[in-house]
Structures are given as C-alpha cells and as structure tokens.
C-alpha cells in the first residue's frame, strides 16, 4: 500500500490516545465494526506501541498505524511494533528519511505552502494538514489547491462531526483525521457501543465531489 491509498480506505482516520493497552483490542473492534478500519494510535502514552502490536495481532480487519511520530527512532520502533503506516504532525529531512526507511506508507505533516513544497521535492504527494483548524481550515486548503493541485491531504486538528463534511467536500482532501470518535470517557469506561456509533456516523460521511 502506498500513502495515496491510505487516504482512500475510509473517510475518517480515528486518532487514538490509549492510556491502557488492555483497551486497544475492544476499541479497535468497535471502530472496525462501525466502519472505520484505519486507526492511528498516537505515540503519546507509554502503552502506545503495545497497543499497536495487540491491534495488529488480534484485529485483522484493522489497518493500524502510529501517529505523533516526531523522532526518527519512533519510525523504526513503530514498524517493529506492527504499525502499517506512520503519521507525523510535521516533518524534517531526518524524520522523512527515517519514515521512508521503514518502507511503510507515511503521512508527514505540513501546514504551509513551503512545508508542502519541501515534501513534494521528496516525491511526497499525500500528507497530513496539521493543525487543520488553527492553520486556516478549509479556506487554507482551498487556497493551497490552486498552486499545488497534485497534493492530497488528510486534515487533522480541530475536526469533528460538526465540520468534517466541509473538509471532505474539498477536491484535495482524501480523508480527515480526528479524536472525536474515541472520547476519553468512553475509552476509560469501556463504552464500545458509543464508539461504534460514533464510527458508524463518521463512516457514512462521503465526499460529494467527483475527482
Ligand atoms: C492529533 O494528532 O492530535 C490530531 O490532530 C487530533 O486532533 P483533534 O484532537 O483536534 O482531533
């Protein structure tokens, strides 16, 4: 799979913060059952890598990846844990090289034309747009689509059920990412039915543009 394909698997990539690796498998099952098979587990907790390993081993229909990849060594550690893709909020040439060296598809973050062009120079045409709302939201993405139509984005940061459809209507948005599918209280309480419902609602979002 290449990064471009990753953007087409589902309209929404749930961004997950897992405090407890025990929750990883039921959480992933709920998301997959709701219709969102692509799951980004952020490397923000000590249990993140163990969570990735468990999901990869026990939820075959999930496509689990690592998010918040900010240090070059995070890339290889994530790949070794079983991640099938990598996401970073921003990028440097060292981080880009480390992610590329894993052979996994990856979505490096960009928020400006210069950052996007730097990634394009490395042959990257699929990227995360972060922090989406704070960096200018849909107006910024529309503007970037003028001079840089070859780039497709996964905007993330401040996206929710309220505004996801506006992003998905843009021609240069492949999918969106967000944490609204997995509220902290639902994860803590093991309320998998609620997460399944949130996922199903998000899975029903479809782009209304034809490429
Ligand atoms: C992230 O990497 O933190 C994502 O951007 C999640 O953002 P959100 O919590 O605003 O959805």
Q: Assign 211 a pLDDT band (cuts: 50, 70, 90).
A: very low
Helix H segments across 35-183? 48-58, 72-81, 93-101, 113-121, 137-145, 164-168
Mean pLDDT to the nearest integer, 58-81:
98
From 194, 149, 156, 140, select the one nearest 40 (Cα to Cα). Answer: 156
**Residue 210, pLDDT above cutoff 90:** no
Which pLDDT score, from 0 to 100, does residue 167 have?
97
- Check if the beta carbon of residue 148 is closer than 8 Å to that of residue 125: no
- Is a pLDDT exceeding 50 seen at residue 59? yes
Q: Let me know if 115 is a catalytic residue.
A: no
Given this model, what pLDDT does residue 209 score?
Answer: 43
Ligand 1: atom nearest CA of 133 is 10
From the CB of residue 4, how many other CB atoms can be counted at a distance below 10 Å?
Answer: 13
Are the C-beta atoms of residues 4 and 125 closer than 8 Å to each other? yes
- In this predicted structure, the answer to whether residue 140 has a pLDDT above a threshold of 80 is yes
Res 3: pLDDT: 85
Q: Which residue's CA is the nearest one to ligand 1's atom 7?
A: 157
Q: What is the ipTM of this complex?
A: 0.89
* pLDDT tens readout for residues 4-54: 889 999 999 999 999 999 999 999 999 999 999 999 999 999 999 999 999
Q: Chain-wide mean pLDDT for the chain?
A: 96
Q: How far apart are the first and last CA of the chain?
A: 20
| Measured distance CA(130)–CA(140) in Å, rounded | 11
Cα 187 to averaged position of ligand 1 atoms, centre (Å): 16
- In Å, how far from its chain's centre is CA 145? 20
Q: What is the mean pLDDT of residues 89-107?
A: 97
Domains of the chain in start order, with CATH, are: 3-200 (3.20.20.70)
Q: Which atom of ligand 1 is nearest to the CA of 132?
A: 5
In whole angstroms, what is the distance from residue 99 CA to residue 87 CA? 9
The protein residue with its alpha carbon nearest to ligand 1, atom 8, reads 157
- pLDDT at position 4 is 82
Residue 91, judged by CB atoms within 10 A of its CB (0-12, 13-18, 19+), counts as buried
How much is the pLDDT for 206?
Answer: 72
Tell me the C-alpha to C-alpha distance, in Å, between residue 65 and each of 8, 40, 191: 15, 5, 22
Q: How confident is the model at residue 2 (pLDDT cuts 50, 70, 90)?
A: confident
């Amino acid at each position: 799979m290449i990064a471009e394909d990753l953007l087409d698997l589902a309209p929404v990539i749930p961004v997950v913060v897992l405090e407890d690796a025990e929750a990883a498998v039921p959480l992933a099952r709920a998301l997959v059952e709701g219709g969102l098979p692509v799951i980004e587990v952020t490397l923000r907790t000590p249990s993140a890598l163990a969570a990735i390993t468990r999901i990869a081993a026990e939820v075959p229909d999930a496509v689990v990846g690592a998010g918040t990849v900010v240090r070059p060594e995070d890339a290889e550690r994530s790949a070794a844990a079983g991640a099938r893709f990598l996401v970073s909020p921003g990028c440097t040439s060292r981080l880009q090289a480390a992610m590329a060296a894993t052979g996994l598809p990856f979505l490096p973050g960009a928020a400006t034309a210069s950052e996007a062009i730097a990634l394009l120079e490395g042959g990257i045409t699929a990227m995360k747009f972060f922090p989406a709302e704070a960096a200018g939201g849909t107006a910024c993405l529309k503007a970037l689509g003028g001079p840089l139509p070859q780039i497709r984005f996964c905007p993330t940061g401040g996206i929710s059920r309220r505004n996801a459809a506006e992003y998905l209507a843009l021609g240069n948005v492949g999918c969106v990412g967000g944490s609204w599918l997995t509220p902290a209280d639902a994860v803590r309480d093991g309320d998998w039915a609620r997460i399944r419902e949130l996922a199903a609602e998000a899975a029903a979002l479809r782009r209304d543009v034809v490429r």
